[in-house]
Structures are given as structure tokens and as C-alpha cells.
Amino acid sequence: MVRHLPNLLSALRLLAAPFTAWLILSGHDTVSLLVFAAAGLSDGLDGFIARRWGVTSGFGAWLDPAADKLLMLFCFTALYAVHIVPFWLVAIVVGRDLVFALAWGLIKLLGLGLTTPTLFVGKLSTAVQVVTILTLLLLLALDLDAPHLSLALAVACAFFTLLAAAGYATVMMRLAGKRVPQ
């Protein structure tokens, strides 16, 4: 059972993405906060279980980040729809992930066989996105209006998302340059 637990937690997080968005759109602020927080905790738990008991898999290595990305994308889009985050932030978060998904697809299509290392700035960007969403959901759940805090979070989130994008773009271009025949 432990062998399948990390993938099961990731799959549940994948299902939590549209559910959390629906909760946000439906005005169930406290429940959306709790579901998002539980999904975030499941992310740490599945990684811990996979490493602790050595039950990693190629499928899990794909499913875990996909679930994380979809949770972020669904939440940011829903928060935009209820006028909590600005469009430019959603465009940056979605645009970065779309560009990297297309780049990854191109790398696979060309058979370059590149694997991109996990960068600290990427982990930091994800952490800032999680803190941004958690804080905004908490403000909604408590029915608090904090426009300066919301803007500061949006700016910080955009900054770290763009910084991570630049870091990964640099690594990908460097790796691709080594693999493409001259």
C-alpha cells in the first residue's frame, strides 16, 4: 500500500485543483482555504513518503509536478475570476508554464533527451505562489480587504515567477546548445 501512496496523494491533489477553483468561484472561501491547505500538505507528504520508503516512480515524477502546476493554475485563474488577483499575474504564471510545457514538448519531439535539473529559484517561486494563494484565500475566508498586501503578494509572486522562468530558460538553452549539432 505504501508503494502507491505518493501517487495516490498526487492524484488527489490533481482532483483538488478544479474542486478548489470551483469552491473559490462559488464563494466557499473557508472550504477553499482548507482544501488548498490540505493539497499543499499532501504535496510535502507524498514527497516524504516517496523518499523515506524509496517508492519513487517515473509516473510519480511526472504526476507530482503536474498536480502542483494545475493546482496553482486553477487557483490563480479562479482568484482572477473573483477579482482577487490582477490579470497580469495570471498571464505571467500561466504564460511561464505554457512556454515551458511547449519547450518540453519540443525537446521530446526533437529527441534531445534533456532533463532539466530542479533549481532553487524554481522551488522558491513555487513557495511564493503557495504563500500568495494561501494568504489571499485566508483574507477571503476572514472577509478582510487588504489591497496593499494583495498587491505586494502579486508583485512578489510575479517577480519570483519571472526569475524562475529566466533561470530555467538559461539552463534549457545551455543544455540544448550542448545537444544540438553545430
What is the per-residue pLDDT for 111? Answer: 73
DSSP-derived secondary structure for 107-137 = HHHTT----PPPPHHHHHHHHHHHHHHHHHH
What is the per-residue pLDDT for 102? Answer: 86
The C-alpha cell 523518499 sits at 51
Hey, what amino acid is at 65?
P
What is the per-residue pLDDT for 104? Answer: 77
Cα dihedral 112→56→52→39 (10° resolution):
90
What is the per-residue pLDDT for 1? Answer: 66
Q: Domain 2-179 is in which class?
A: mainly alpha
* Domain limits, the chain: 2-179
Q: Would you write out the chain's pLDDT as a tens digit for each of its 182 residues?
A: 677 788 889 999 999 999 999 999 999 999 999 999 999 999 889 888 888 887 787 787 788 888 999 999 999 999 999 999 999 999 999 999 898 888 777 777 877 666 777 889 998 999 999 999 999 999 999 999 999 999 999 999 999 999 999 998 888 778 777 665 55
pTM of the predicted model as reported, rounded to 2 decimal places = 0.89
